[in-house]
Amino acid sequence: MSAPFVTLAEIEAARDRTAGHVRRSFLDRSPTLSRRLGHPVHLKLEHQQITGSFKLRGATNAVLSLDAEARAAGLVAVSTGNHGRALAHAARAAGCRALICMSALVPQAKIDGIRAAGGETRIVGRSQDEAQTEVDRLIAHDGMTMVPPFDHPAVIAGQGTLGLEILEDAPEVAAVLVPVSGGGLVSGVAAAIKARRPEVRIIGITMERGAAMHASLAAGRPVEVEEQATLADSLGGGIGLDNRLTFAMTRALVDDMILLTEDEIAAGIRHCYREEGQVVEGAGAVGVAAILAGRVRVQGPVVAILSGGNIDRNDHRRLVCEGGP
In whole angstroms, what is the distance from residue 158 CA to residue 74 CA? 20
Nearer to ligand PLP by C-beta: 53 or 60?
53
Q: What is the largest CA-CA distance in the chain?
A: 57
In whole angstroms, what is the distance from residue 87 CA to residue 98 CA? 7
Select the residue interacting with ligand PLP from 175, 190, 207, 283 (CB under 6 A): 283
Q: Are the C-beta atoms of residues 311 and 279 closer than 8 Å to each other? A: yes
- Residues 213-232, interacting with ligand PLP (CB under 6 A): none
Nearer to ligand PLP by C-beta: 65 or 243?
243
In whole angstroms, what is the distance from residue 269 CA to residue 135 CA? 33
Q: Kindly indicate which of the ranges 25-33, 66-74, 88-96, 178-186 contains the residues binding ligand PLP, using the contact rule CB under 6 A.
A: 178-186
Q: Which residues contact 310 (CB under 8 A, 6 or more apart)?
A: 47, 52, 53, 81, 82, 85, 109, 110, 113, 234, 281
Binding mask 21-60 for ligand PLP (x = CB under 6 A): --------------------------------x-x-----
Q: Kindly indicate which of the ranges 16-24, 262-270, 278-286, 311-319 contains the residues binding ligand PLP, using the contact rule CB under 6 A.
A: 278-286
CB of 224 to ligand PLP, least distance (A): 16
- Residues 145-164, interacting with ligand PLP (CB under 6 A): 150
Find residue 308's DSSP bridge partners. Answer: 53
Four-residue CA torsion sign, 171, 177, 179, 185: positive
Q: Kindly indicate which of the ranges 36-44, 87-95, 184-192, 294-302 contains the residues binding ligand PLP, using the contact rule CB under 6 A.
A: 184-192
- How many other CB atoms are there within 10 angstroms of residue 30's CB atom? 22
Nearer to ligand PLP by C-beta: 76 or 186?
186
In whole angstroms, what is the distance from residue 57 CA to residue 232 CA? 20
Catalytic annotation, pick one of 25, 30, 103, 307 = 307
Q: Kindly indicate which of the ranges 91-99, 223-231, 254-262, 280-288 contains the residues binding ligand PLP, using the contact rule CB under 6 A.
A: 280-288
Catalytic annotation, pick one of 25, 30, 55, 194 = 55
Element spanning 275, H or E: none
Active site residue 307: yes
In whole angstroms, what is the distance from residue 85 CA to residue 284 CA? 16
Amino acid at the residue 50: I
In whole angstroms, what is the distance from residue 217 CA to residue 223 CA? 9
Active site residue 110: no
Binding mask 231-250 for ligand PLP (x = CB under 6 A): ---xx---------------
Q: Are the C-beta atoms of residues 176 and 201 closer than 8 Å to each other? A: yes
CB of 45 to ligand PLP, least distance (A): 12
- Binding of residue 308 to ligand PLP (CB under 6 A): yes
Q: Kindly indicate which of the ranges 1-9, 96-104, 259-267, 277-285 contains the residues binding ligand PLP, using the contact rule CB under 6 A.
A: 277-285
Through-space distance between the first and last CA atoms of the chain, rounded to whole angstroms: 44
Catalytic residues: 55, 307
Enumerate binding residues for ligand PLP (CB under 6 A): 53, 55, 82, 150, 179-186, 234-235, 281, 283-284, 307-308
